Structure 1
């Protein structure tokens, strides 16, 4: 199993491995080209489709946007990702159809070793994040590694989601808790 396969399967992976670095550099070059463009500029959509392979025609990611790899992002139909979002997609980030992601939302999959000596190295885990259909993720929310958010959920603006959220919940706060 190579380091990319380890990373995508939540195993300890060496982030300095050439096969991971190539993907990282490719994404950063595409993002640099996209910086300053609008969703209406010629070429923006072409670059976005190269960054996030398989993005549905009906889904939008507004610039500026930041990610680690791009090919770890899986979007359903009619997903809207507002400006200034950061998706660290070492692990897969899956977002269901008709979900709205507010500005400045951060979705993290990387998880560093808890032992400080191990943390000095170049290895880390990446735990997938899954968001169901018809959700609304409020601006500035942070979704932590390994979290699954069910369908039809609302995540309050500025919330930090550290644990799974079942279907049909409204959560808010730090850490996010059910409020409805």
Structure 2
């Protein structure tokens, strides 16, 4: 397997591999263009995101500045929105559902490192996919950690650190993020 294949599959890989360096540099060039657009250049920004991401809905909006590692592992749902300063480390797949609202300064991290210091010294890392269901609202300054799924219709309170899966139809807050209320229809 290539280092890229290992990365996407959640196995240990070396991020210093030339293929991955090239992919990150490609993403950084596109992100620089995206972040340097004028406010009225929404069509230009959307075209760049469609080139950068694995897939998008027809209607979506991402406020600059935005950052990601690769872009190629992000699936962005229909009518989903990210406010200023969103960062996505997409070493593994990040699935953003439809009608998702992401407040300012939200960080989504698939990248992680081995517990064993000897493996870290070798420069190895791995990644775990993240899924954010339909109709989720993530409050400002929240951090979504590797391997987490957030169920549909749920709300993550501002400043939360999501370290474990969050079920559908709940409000969850805190560090670590915990369910505080079940939502009823």
Cα deviation 1:52-108 (Å, max 9, x = unaligned): 142222111111000000011101111111111000000100011111111110000
Shift of 1:35: 2.1
Give the TM-score taking structure 1 as reference length: 0.95
Give the TM-score taking structure 2 as reference length: 0.93
Other-structure match for 2:150: 149
Q: Which runs of no fewer than 5 residues in structure 1 stay unpaired?
A: none
2:14 and 2:123 in contact (8 A); partners too: yes
Q: Which runs of no fewer than 5 residues in structure 2 stay unpaired?
A: none
Other-structure match for 2:120: 119
> What secondary structure is seen at the aligned counterpart in 2 of 1:94?
strand
> What secondary structure is seen at the aligned counterpart in 2 of 1:98?
coil
CA distance in structure 1 between the partners assigned to 2:98 and 2:34 by the alignment: 24
CA distance in structure 2 between the partners assigned to 1:109 and 1:8 by the alignment: 10
CA distance in structure 1 between the partners assigned to 2:79 and 2:122 by the alignment: 40
CA distance in structure 2 between the partners assigned to 1:39 and 1:162 by the alignment: 35
Residue 3, structure 1, aligned to residue 6, structure 2: no
CA distance in structure 2 between the partners assigned to 1:99 and 1:173 by the alignment: 20
Between the two proteins, the alignment pairs up a number of residues equal to 180
Shift >4 Å, 4+ stretches = none
CA distance in structure 1 between the partners assigned to 2:86 and 2:9 by the alignment: 24
Cα deviation 1:100-123 (Å, max 9, x = unaligned): 111110000011011222212221
CA distance in structure 1 between the partners assigned to 2:55 and 2:126 by the alignment: 25
* Correspondences of 1:5-84 after superposition (within 5 Å): 5-38=5-38, 40-41=40-41, 43-84=44-85
Shift of 1:38: 4.2
Shift of 1:2: 1.1
